[in-house]
């Protein structure tokens, strides 16, 4: 996409977001009436996710050439995900212990929300079993990206070892990938309006809880936001500079449209088409690395979510006056990391996974009811950091030996 047009669209997206907030506060009926435009934008993004994930993983794997390279790349990618996620959780745990946002906060609204009751985040075994789809079309139809990734990795890997028979199949997926990226470009033109309508609708719907951002739950929100900011503007740019060998500021500006979409949609997976566009086309990261790292990252690498899980769990402990030992906080560290891996890349998934963390250290699930009111906002913030972390992962992996041209 032409740089000038890309900039105009980015400005349009920011203007859309600002007008959306103002409209949501003062023209809420109008904003609710145009909310469907946001839904169209969101649907259009979701529409391309399944073919994009499948095609890009398959061509990512096949372009690596040999399977041993795939193994090394996968290892390095997972190491990057785990290290950055673990670091963000650590920042969250330190901050929540320093700020102690839960002290003196009454447990108002403490009840297990309906969408969590009886559902929960499942166990670790469920997450592992869920990796293998019993029906790939079923997984695609229900938006379960992780099993699709596993299948695509397998399929791509096998295509490289069947020789000539695999070549036309690879060519088909290359064509699909190029076509889908073109569709993504078309959807991006619609982004400013989509963002205006989505933000306007969400603010209009949550007007009452906007004040909660600054009152009872204010300190808690602030703790999450400070943690996310530390991760997003110190830790990750540092990694990008030294391991990804890129200018963090320029990289950030080039990621603008994807980050704005992440904030608006609160879904890493709906943002994936734009993340790929911004990383590959704008930031010129090696396509072979990006097409492998980004779909996987959107699903399992969630630094923002992990940090939030840890802060929220310890905040709930503080509200109930439960002093968690160092040992229990270590458990929070590991379960928050795992919960972020298991969380689907869709809105509020992190909140659902909270039950995993709370149960692990014996905290009351009712605590989720307390933080529910402002989750719509924190969800957007953490999703933005999730996508930022994925994009930097692509740059880091793109600089590894396997991709040296
Ligand atoms: N909404 C987040 C995402 O898609 C997941 C979460 O709820 O934390 O990245």
Please state the domain count of the chain: 1
Report the alpha-carbon distance of residue 61 to residue 289 in Å, rounded.
9
Report the alpha-carbon distance of residue 343 to residue 299 in Å, rounded.
8
Q: Which of 133, 85, 56 is nearest to 343 (CA)?
A: 85
Q: Ligand 1 within 6 A of 348 CB?
A: yes
Q: Ligand 1 within 6 A of 345 CB?
A: yes
Q: Which range (171-175, 396-400, 401-405) has the least confidence?
A: 401-405
Q: Which of 202, 269, 350 to mutate to test the pocket of ligand 1 (most atoms within 8 A of CB)?
A: 350
DSSP for 168-200, written as a single string? HHHHHHHHHHHHHHHHHHHHHHTHHHHHHHHHH
110, 367 Cβ separation under 8 angstroms = yes
Q: pLDDT of 279-302, one tens digit each? A: 999 999 998 899 889 999 998 899
Domain with 56, as residue range(s), is 3-403
pLDDT of residue 108: 63
Output 164 or 120, whichever has higher pLDDT: 164
Task: Find the CATH number of the domain harbouring 141.
Answer: 1.10.3860
Q: pLDDT of 299-357, one tens digit each? A: 889 999 999 999 999 999 998 888 888 889 999 999 999 889 888 888 888 888 888 89
Three-state secondary structure of 308-330:
HHHHHHHHHHHHCCCCCCHHHHH
Ligand 1 atom closest to the CA of 349, numbered from 1: 7
The residue-averaged pLDDT of 197-215 equals 77
CA trace torsion 308, 314, 320, 326 (10° rounding): 170
Ligand 1 atom closest to the CA of 351, numbered from 1: 7
Q: Ligand 1 within 6 A of 92 CB?
A: no
Report the alpha-carbon distance of residue 147 to residue 134 in Å, rounded.
9
Q: pLDDT of 48-104, one tens digit each? A: 889 988 998 898 888 877 777 788 888 999 999 999 999 999 999 999 999 999 887
Distance 263 CA to ligand 1 centre (A): 10
In total, the chain counts a number of residues equal to 405
Q: Ligand 1 within 6 A of 267 CB?
A: yes
Q: Which of 311, 337, 349 to mutate to test the pocket of ligand 1 (most atoms within 8 A of CB)?
A: 349
Q: Ligand 1 within 6 A of 383 CB?
A: yes
Report the alpha-carbon distance of residue 219 to residue 237 in Å, rounded.
26
């Amino acid at each position: 996409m032409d740089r000038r047009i890309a900039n105009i669209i980015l400005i349009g997206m920011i203007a859309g977001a600002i007008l959306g907030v103002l409209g949501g506060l003062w023209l809420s009926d109008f904003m609710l009436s145009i909310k469907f435009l946001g839904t169209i934008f969101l649907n259009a993004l979701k529409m391309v996710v399944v073919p994009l994930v499948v095609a890009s993983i398959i061509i990512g794997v096949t372009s690596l050439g040999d399977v041993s390279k795939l193994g090394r790349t996968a290892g390095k990618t997972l190491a990057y995900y785990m290290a950055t996620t673990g670091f963000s959780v650590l920042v969250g745990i330190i901050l929540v212990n320093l700020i102690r946002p839960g002290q003196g906060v009454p447990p108002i609204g403490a009840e297990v929300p309906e969408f969590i009751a009886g559902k929960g985040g499942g166990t670790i075994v469920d997450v592992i079993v869920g990796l293998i789809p019993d029906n790939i079309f079923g997984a695609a139809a229900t938006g379960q990206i992780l099993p699709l990734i596993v299948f695509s990795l397998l399929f791509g890997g096998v295509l490289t070892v069947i020789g000539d028979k695999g070549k036309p199949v690879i060519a088909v997926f290359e064509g699909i990938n190029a076509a889908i990226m073109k569709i993504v470009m078309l959807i991006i033109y619609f982004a400013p309006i989509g963002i205006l309508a989505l933000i306007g609708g969400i603010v209009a719907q949550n007007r009452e809880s906007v004040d909660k951002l600054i009152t009872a739950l204010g300190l808690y929100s602030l703790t999450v936001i400070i943690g996310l900011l530390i991760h997003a503007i110190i830790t990750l740019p540092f990694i990008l500079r030294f391991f990804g060998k890129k200018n963090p500021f320029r990289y950030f500006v080039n990621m603008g449209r994807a980050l704005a979409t992440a904030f608006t949609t609160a879904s890493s997976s709906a943002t994936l088409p734009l993340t790929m566009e911004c990383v590959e086309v704008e930031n010129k990261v090696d396509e072979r690395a990006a097409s492998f790292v980004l779909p996987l990252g959107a699903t399992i690498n969630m630094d923002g979510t992990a940090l939030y899980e840890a802060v929220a769990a310890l905040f709930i402990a503080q509200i109930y006056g439960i002093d968690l030992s160092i040992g229990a906080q270590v458990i929070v560290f590991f379960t928050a990391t795992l919960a972020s891996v298991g969380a689907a890349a869709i809105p509020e998934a992190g909140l659902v996974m909270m039950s995993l963390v709370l149960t692990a250290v014996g905290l009351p699930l009712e605590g989720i009811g307390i933080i529910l009111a402002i989750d719509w906002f924190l969800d957007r913030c953490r999703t933005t950091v999730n996508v930022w972390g994925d994009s930097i992962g692509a740059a880091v992996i793109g600089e590894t030996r396997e991709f040296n041209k």
